[in-house]
């Protein structure tokens, strides 16, 4: 087997960072070195390869054709190294298992079932981090997460938990009265409850071809959890994940006035960095969660 002919690692890191940022200054900040050091390392790499990697235009940088061809290879290589390093660092079986998810999912679906996981795995401490942003598993102390979407996230393994649908929900009190809810068009007479900065009602109404309803009007809340609580209190009609609101439906706190009408089919997924399932805590959590999701899904389809 022939030996690998690799340029110095520092030179490769300098070029990769400068190529991503198209800036020696920002690359220097990322790698905690001087701008002169980045320039020196890039020049060494160009001499080693016998070709220019950047064109310098005033204060800006532009990749040459060769540089543009070379950069994706290095980015992929460094991503693989980072993934492998992450797996090794997380090989220990001690310590808590950190899981990220949306707050509404945590409150209404996950936490009520967490007792069963603790019964099966009393030595595993689960720490829940609720956020609506996309965490960086390779830079943050998070082992795995539950995400809502299509299942495609670069660098992560995704295990499908269940398909889901967004449905309109309200207090049972809104089904009666002067303007009962029977069909989606009746929403024009009721208050729509929104989560801040989302356009869920717009997409839901458009997908079901509902006309005459102002998708922007109504009350807005900081989170979907608050919007659902407002629906329970009879303040209006909210949109919610069928999985998330199922317990409220079972207990009669909420009803689906239009049945299981929906605008799209997305799914909940358990995600974690590739290779992390080798960690016993992660694999135990995955196996339990997949089974809990299967039971919840079966229960809905029996209704």
Q: What is the pLDDT of residue 245?
A: 92
Q: Which residues contact 153 (CB under 8 A, 6 or more apart)?
A: 147, 271
What is the residue whose two structure tokens read 């087997």?
A: 1
Alpha-carbon distance 161 to 144, whole Å?
14
Q: What is the pLDDT of residue 87?
A: 61
Tens digits of residue pLDDT in 211-233: 999 998 899 998 889 999 999 99
Residue ranges per structural domain of the chain: 9-89, 97-165+266-301, 166-250
- 296 membership: H or E segment, kind and range: helix 280-301
What is the residue whose two structure tokens read 């909940």?
A: 268
Structure-model confidence comparison of residues 79 and 106, the more confident one: 106
The answer to whether the 9-89 and 166-250 domains have the same CATH topology is no
Instruction: Answer yes or no: is pLDDT of 267 > 70.
Output: yes
Bridge partners of residue 192, in order along the sequence: 237
- 166-250 CATH pick, 3.90.1640.30, 3.30.930.10, 3.40.50.620, 3.40.190.10: 3.40.190.10
Model confidence at 13, pLDDT cuts 50, 70, 90, reads very high
- Vertex 226: Cα angle to 254 and 184 (nearest 5): 45
Q: What is the mean predicted confidence (pLDDT) over 148-152?
A: 82
Structure-model confidence comparison of residues 2 and 270, the more confident one: 270
- Vertex 240: Cα angle to 235 and 224 (nearest 5): 70
Helices marked H in 160-241: 200-207, 224-232
Q: What is the pLDDT of residue 172?
A: 93
- Classify residue 212 as left (phi > 0), alpha (psi -120 to 50) or beta: left
Model confidence at 260, pLDDT cuts 50, 70, 90, reads confident
Distances (CA, A) of 115 to 199, 260, 269, 290: 35, 30, 21, 15
> CA 7: distance to chain centroid?
36
Q: Span 9-89: which CATH code?
A: 1.10.10.10
Q: What is the pLDDT of residue 200?
A: 85
- For the ranges 2-11, 94-103, 163-172, 211-220, which has the lowest average pLDDT? 2-11
Q: Which CATH class is domain 97-165+266-301?
A: alpha beta
The first and second tokens of residue 210, run together, are: 């509902």
Model confidence at 1, pLDDT cuts 50, 70, 90, reads very low
Tens digits of residue pLDDT in 124-142: 999 999 988 888 887 788 8
Q: What is the pLDDT of residue 89?
A: 59
Q: What is the pLDDT of residue 171?
A: 94
Model confidence at 264, pLDDT cuts 50, 70, 90, reads low
Q: What is the mean predicted confidence (pLDDT) over 153-173?
A: 89
Q: What is the pLDDT of residue 90?
A: 56
The pLDDT > 90 percentage for the chain reads 47
DSSP for 34-65, please give it: -HHHHHHHHHHHHHHHTS--EEEETTEEEE-H
Q: What is the mean predicted confidence (pLDDT) over 90-119?
A: 85
Averaged pLDDT of the chain: 87
């Amino acid at each position: 087997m022939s030996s690998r002919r690799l340029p110095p690692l520092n030179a490769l890191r300098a070029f990769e960072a400068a190529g991503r940022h198209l800036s020696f200054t920002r690359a220097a900040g990322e790698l905690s070195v001087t701008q002169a050091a980045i320039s020196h390392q890039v020049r060494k790499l160009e001499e080693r390869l016998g070709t220019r990697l950047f064109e310098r235009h005033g204060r800006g940088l532009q990749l040459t054709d060769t540089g543009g061809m070379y950069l994706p290879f290095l980015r992929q290589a460094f991503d693989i190294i980072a993934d492998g390093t992450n797996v090794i660092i997380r090989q220990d079986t001690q310590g808590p298992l950190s899981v990220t998810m949306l707050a509404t999912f945590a409150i209404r679906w996950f936490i009520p079932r967490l007792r069963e996981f603790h019964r099966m795995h009393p030595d595993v401490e689960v720490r829940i981090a609720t956020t609506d942003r996309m965490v960086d598993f390779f830079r943050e102390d998070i082992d795995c997460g539950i995400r809502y979407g299509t299942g495609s996230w670069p660098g992560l393994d995704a295990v499908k938990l269940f398909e889901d649908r967004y449905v309109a929900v309200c207090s049972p009190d809104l089904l009666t009265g002067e303007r009962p809810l029977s069909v989606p068009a009746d929403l024009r007479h009721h208050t729509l409850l929104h989560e801040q900065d989302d356009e869920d009602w717009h997409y839901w109404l458009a997908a079901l071809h509902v006309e005459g309803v102002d998708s922007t009007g109504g009350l807005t809340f900081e989170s979907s959890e608050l919007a659902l609580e407002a629906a329970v209190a009879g303040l209006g009609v909210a949109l919610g994940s069928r999985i998330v609101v199922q317990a409220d439906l079972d207990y009669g706190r909420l009803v689906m006035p239009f049945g299981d009408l929906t605008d799209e089919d997305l799914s909940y997924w358990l995600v974690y960095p590739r290779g992390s399932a080798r960690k016993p805590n992660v694999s135990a959590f995955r196996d339990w969660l997949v089974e809990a999701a299967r039971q919840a899904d079966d229960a809905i389809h029996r209704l």
